[in-house]
Chain A
């Protein structure tokens, strides 16, 4: 096998791509969260205009566009690679155990990464459909800020979550999805470092701790946004 082929199709290479795309998506989460936390700003301080101008910047700036295409590619690769690995792993044990006790030696979320990932993928589709698609192709209201036309993503977002019945349902779906994301990240973050071979007794405990905190804090802050909009705003 040629060395170059080894970087694409071998079992280890598949893990490298899984890890690299996963870590890139972790960076994306930080950026996405930082932007979305603007939804928590008080309305009287101009939160609406600030958020809508930010949303316009995020859909028009060329650097952000490149980053967003990288994000789409990463999600696609992460999903395809995950499916390929899951199929290969299933094939590696055609005959199951009559009695198995996996809980005795491993954490449940580490064994259900494929399932957790599938839930997250469904969430991404719903989430893109609810906001991203409307931002790009409408229907969405527009208005002028200092002679500049902006799409009112702020009002659309607030209305989506504030609605008494559909908004409550959406809030619940979002919160559950973020809990699922948390379990996926708590295992995935440190696993990515191991897969890349970035492992050293000195800094692995730091990676483990940062991974756990990342997997709890980031989804918790994301979940806070729909909860705030539905129950407090």
Chain B
């Protein structure tokens, strides 16, 4: 099939970018979206043009490296998938596809479609850890009892791959779904209790410092999240933060 692509091109972090039109022929419906971009890049290179820069790594939906805002939605029109899992059969011959980087002040564009998501790393560094020794004498996994429902909810929260689709879809560029998933995966488990208060205070403080927006509970993040992280996590974080603010010394 033939496609019309409108792709954001930006030479560097401080350059001003613009949408550029490309035409691509002979796209197979079996190609993944990233493979389609690979083919486009081969064409561009053979013509002596600069290839389009985009993030990617595992290409099987588990690393969180790929991003892209495709036709108005992060990771494109599919649900529960990342861009690398989006296939060209989701599009029709002659379609026009808008491809843009994730937009947020806290996610500055590095080049073309690649954005700097290290703000997420700094949020993790501020509190996304547990002080449990794991080397030497490892404790048996069943020695510490955990309620099944808490274990399940913690696991669901921990499936967040930190891709940033929540920020990209949020009208306020809020990172609360990401931060709340990271807070929840620890706050639900006994190993996360010693640092529970500092964790939520520090992670929220870092999130604000990075310049992310505020949650208005539109629920867009939950819909667009490739891992189906629930909005319930945000409510849990709000609860944890309120508790920590009122009871910390």
A171 CA to B238 CA in the complex, in Å? 41
Contact yes or no, B103 A194, CB < 8 A: no
Chain A CB within 8 A of B43 CB: no
Size category of the A interface is: 35 or more
Chain A contacts for B100, CB-based, 8 A: 97-99
Q: Is the CB of B238 within 8 A of A110?
A: no
Q: In residues 219-249 of chain B, which contact A (Cβ within 8 Å)?
A: 219-220, 223-224, 231-232, 234-242, 244-246, 248
Report whether B71 and A12 are in contact in the complex, using a CB–CB cutoff of 8 Å: no
CB neighbours of B105 from chain A (8 A) = 91-94
Q: Decide if B65 is an interface residue (CB 8 Å cutoff).
A: no
**Is B217's beta carbon under 8 Å from chain A?**
yes
Q: Which of B204, B216, B232, B236 contacts A113 (CB 8 A)?
A: B216
Does A27 interact with chain B (Cβ within 8 Å)? no
A101 contacts which chain B residues (CB < 8 A)? 71-73
Binary contact readout B189-206 vs A (1 if CB under 8 angstroms, 0 otherwise): 000000000000100110
Residue of A88, A95, A194, A201 near B213 (CB, 8 A) is A88
Stretch at the interface among A3-11, A53-61, A65-73, A130-138: A3-11
| A110 touching B69, Cβ below 8 Å | no
Give the distance in Å from the alpha carbon of A7 to the alpha carbon of B103 in the complex. Answer: 29
Taking a contact as CB atoms under 8 Å apart, the answer to whether A1 and B220 are in contact is no
Q: In the docked arrangement, what's the CA distance between A13 and B238, Å? A: 9
Q: Is A165 an interface residue (CB 8 A)?
A: no
What 1/0 mask marks residues of chain A from 190 to 204 whose CB sits below 8 Å from any chain B CB?
110111111101001
B207 within 8 A of A: yes
Our pick among B172, B235, B248 for the contact of A197 (Cβ within 8 Å) is B235
A125: interface (CB < 8 Å) = no
In the assembled complex, A111 has its CB within 8 A of some CB on chain B: yes
Q: Is B215 in contact with chain A by the CB < 8 A criterion?
A: yes
| Contacting residues, chain A, for B155 (C-beta < 8 A) | none
**Complex formed: what's the CA distance from A86 to B140 in Å?**
49
Q: Is A42 an interface residue (CB 8 A)?
A: no
Q: Quick check: A191 and B216 within 8 Å, CB to CB? A: yes
In the complex, B169 has a CB within 8 A of chain A: yes
Known: A15-B215, A89-B173. A196 touches B242 (CB 8 A): yes
Whether B103 and A195, one on each chain, are in contact in the complex, defined by CB atoms closer than 8 angstroms, is no
Partner-A contacts on B (CB < 8 A):
6, 8, 19, 69, 71-73, 77, 98, 100, 103-106, 169, 171-174, 176, 201, 204-205, 207-208, 211-220, 223-224, 231-232, 234-242, 244-246, 248
27 residue pairs bridging A and B, Cβ less than 8 Å apart: A3-B201, A3-B245, A6-B201, A6-B204, A6-B241, A11-B174, A12-B204, A12-B242, A93-B171, A97-B100, A99-B71, A101-B72, A102-B171, A104-B72, A105-B169, A105-B223, A106-B219, A111-B171, A111-B216, A194-B234, A194-B235, A195-B215, A195-B217, A195-B235, A197-B235, A199-B236, A204-B232
Which residues in A have some Cβ–Cβ distance to B below 8 Å? 1, 3-4, 6-7, 10-16, 85, 88-89, 91-102, 104-107, 110-111, 113, 187, 190-191, 193-199, 201, 204
